[in-house]
Structure 1
């Protein structure tokens, strides 16, 4: 066997080298993409006048926590306002990125990059600076459209975020910490992500390194097409942690086209409060699996109410597009034109049915304001609560037709699931509750060791919860 050791070692070395070369050959070469796309990527800086501070000195951006070299770079690069008795106002600056979508000077970026700015400057790849005009902005999608006075500008190629696949290579170009035209690469980690307080954007999640200053910059696929606008990062340290989120270009261009033609954005609206369908809720509503959007509240005189949707309906699809997670519903409805009619597949009281609803126009203020109250009587029950009928004034103030108010909570299932005095119960076990007497009868018939749904209103917000009564 000693004779074969050198031969085996040589063969192993050749095989290892071959595997290494093959792995290297499978990695993409981003240099042509960067060379062709970089000229259309711009740096965006803003200036905002702030109320005068005591002493009139200007306030620098918060640079604490940055590495010394980067902090020194910012301190050299950001102009200082004169200090002293003659100074009357402070200024705040911000840095971000953007990209040119038309040769006559239209630029896309994030709304949060230019929000409240008194002056917006766009720096091109040739280092020339241009004052930009804000054509319009949409805070709900965090998209802003700018215009600079220039011609024959280089432009990006626009792709389709709909055709983007998880695992696909993507590349970002932007100005992290003010370093122009920095390129970082990674893959698409997920699609259709919903983030807190971001109901109308199905974000693209990537592991591309994104840092402050990248906001508003383009996300490219390997064909050199823009598939998203880099918008947010998830971080506990203030820096990149492997979770970046981009606005799909299909969503961004829909917004940009409306801003360009109308100066504002209109989107579809149902007028419902929805919640996720978990395993227990799916069981209680007779669904085969957790999916869809459960309607917890229907706004009076809203599109959903006029179309016949009811509390407790579970929307499974819109125009044959399935609702897998509840967040899919606002994404789909928001992209529809107001006054368009949609076909919805729903589950109501355990039965499937199709319903047509005319989509409304989302109001400027889509918050839901309501109040809750409490009032008298009724005995305790196996849930461990005492309830009372709602007065006419309570029904009017809460904008509901029926329900009972919890007067007292003792030890029992109700306490375990977090119910408390003042909560309003409108549905129990998929049935509307019209009075305290009806509630008591419904409690007697509740099944044991099976998921039971209950619709509860608290502080004007309604949601379904589930619980089980033990054997």
Structure 2
């Protein structure tokens, strides 16, 4: 009925939008975020000046309910938001730092128009099946990077932990275990203090979008 009404009124189907990038939660991520289970949609990025940002949704939040409807995984949320009437202000329930928090978000209309050899530098005591480097002018040009801080992945070994976590050359690691990574020195220092067998939560930037990835050293 809603779709028919939209076609009659506007001549097109209008879908709701709140401005978040989300992903499913793996068991490793649930452990890193101290979650009870893997239910919900993990917010990897929030669009500036979007309804989500205005309403108080933050990166790292786990959305578990939207307008009273449960969000079991990342595939649920886009469908629920799309079915929500435009300009409706809804309650969004999230888990933040192990606590349940409720925020108010007003649904907006989705804008369809937006939508050489590499030197290997391995970190001692860790092997994630990838090589990283500082963000030099060379890498910035080769990968069209806008990031000024972090470390860039310059090589991913097939079938290694990084490859299995869907990381790829050109990705920029911004955080490790919720700690900021400004450069290669930070990257090395953080990993050297971590246990080898422990899974590691990364916060990654790719093409203007950000997301979380978890991997375990070989």
Greater mean deviation of Cα atoms: 440-449 or 312-321:
440-449
1:345 and 1:432, CA in 2 relative to 1: closer, same or farther beyond 3 A?
A: farther
> 1:398 deviation in Å?
6.0
Q: CA deviation at 1:285?
A: 1.6
Given candidates 129, 152, 155, the residue that maps to 1:405 is 152
Tell me the residue number matched to 1:333.
Answer: 81
* Separation in 2, partners of 1:415, 1:351: 32
1:35-83: per-residue Cα shift (whole Å, max 9, x none)?
xxxxxxxxxxxxxxxxxxxxxxxxxxxxxxxxxxxxxxxxxxxxxxxxx
Equivalent position to 2:122, from 380, 385, 394 = 380
Residues 312, 430 of structure 1: 8 Å contact kept: no
The equivalent of 1:95 in structure 2 is none
Structure with the bigger RCO (C-alpha within 8 Å, sep 6+) is 2
Question: Cα 1:442–1:320, aligned 2, differ >3 Å: closer, same or farther?
Answer: farther
3-state secondary structure, aligned to 1:467? strand
Q: Judging changes above 3 Å, is the alpha-carbon distance between structure 1 residues 329 and 449 closer, same or farther for their aligned structure 2 residues? A: same
- Secondary structure of 2:86's match? coil
Contact between 1:390 and 1:404, CA under 8 Å: does it hold in 2?
no
Aligned length: 206
Q: Note the 1:272-291 alignment, pairs <5 A.
A: 272-291=20-39
> Which structure 2 residue ranges, 5 or more long, are not aligned?
none
Q: Is 2:115 the partner of 1:362? A: no
Larger Rg: 1
Contact preservation (8 Å) 2:132, 2:151 = no
Q: Per the alignment, do residues 439 and 320 of structure 1 end up closer, same or farther by CA in structure 2, a change over 3 Å counting?
A: farther
The partner residue of 2:200 within 443, 448, 452 is 452
1:266 pairs with 2:14? yes
Query: Which residue of the other structure, out of 173, 179, 184, is the alignment partner of 1:425?
Result: 173
Is there any run of 5+ residues in structure 1 with no aligned partner, and where?
1-252, 368-375
Q: Could you tell me the TM-score, scaled by structure 1's length? A: 0.38
**Cα 1:461–1:257 shift into 2, 3 Å:** same
| TM-score (structure 2 length as normaliser) | 0.75
* Cα 1:340–1:278 shift into 2, 3 Å: same
Is the alpha carbon distance of 1:353 and 1:300 closer, same or farther for their aligned partners in structure 2, counting shifts above 3 Å? same
Cα separation, 1, equivalents of 2:92 and 2:148: 25
- Whether the aligned pair in 1 keeps the contact of 2:135 and 2:148 (CA below 8 Å) is no
Counterpart of 2:62 in structure 1 is: 314
